[in-house]
Amino acid sequence: MTTSKRRNPFAQPADPWNGANDPLATIRMPEKKKRERKWEKENRAYTYGVSAQSNEAAHLIRDAILWISQHNENGELRQDRTTVDNVATVLIDYALQLAEKENLVFAPTRTGRMTIQWEEVEQGWESPIKIGTPIRKKKTPPKKTVFLAYRWPKKYHQRIEALSGKVPDTKKQNPHRYKVPIGEVVVRLLQRGIDDYKARKIHLTSSQESVTQKVAGWAK
């Protein structure tokens, strides 16, 4: 008994007179969509270098903001889409409003260091919030120069520049174009926001976005 060789029924035209093509060849494969960067372009990240003397403070700020983005005021894991940028934006907004209200001035001392005075505000609520250790995928070794980078509105960056005392410069990207290092101002402002949050003088409020929530503001 002889066996016939199996053939792919689609390998040859179904009708040799009209030359029908392989149906599999007519199936269009889905094209990989390019990731849109519109949001990133419209909401750029501002990066601030922090001097060695404020290294530890910058690391603590970064960890605290990360923890707050992951946990609510009761220390429970958030079930929303809050990001570090959301939290940083809320805290810098709060601190900038305080700076304006208290007529805060940042000025370098003769030693080149900065002294800042804050006025005490009314007593906070209940017991202080305890900032724990944030969840990290991997530990990165500390660097000599620490950079804090967050996506917040340009108007906040401009107000930070004003507090730093921007001076005219003749060179592009001159790192010494501020009377007070801008990274130091950011550190002090975020420290104030975090300290008042821990003392329960403010709490974070959420807003609805599609079917999820995220931190979008603060309230006393």
Q: Give the tens place of pLDDT for each residue, 152-209.
A: 999 999 999 999 987 766 556 555 678 888 999 999 999 999 999 999 999 888 876 6
Q: What is the mean pLDDT of each run of 10 residues along the chain (220 residues)?
A: 56 52 58 59 86 91 96 91 94 95 77 52 69 79 80 95 79 68 94 95 80 73
CB 58 within 8 Å of CB 50: yes
Which residues sit opposite 146 in a β-bridge? 50
Q: Supply the pLDDT for residue 193.
A: 96
Give the CA distances from residue 207 to residues 40, 44, 193, in Å, rounded to whole numbers and listed in that order.
21, 22, 20
CB 73 within 8 Å of CB 203: yes
> Which pTM does this prediction carry?
0.67
Residue ranges of the alpha helices (H) in 82-218?
84-101, 154-164, 182-198
The answer for residues whose C-beta is within 8 angstroms of residue 109's C-beta and 6 or more apart is 115
Indicate the SS3 state at residue 205. Answer: strand
Match 């005490």 to its residue by tokens: 120
Percent helix, percent strand, percent coil in the chain, to nearest 5: 35, 15, 50
Mean pLDDT of the chain: 78
CB 198 within 8 Å of CB 63: no
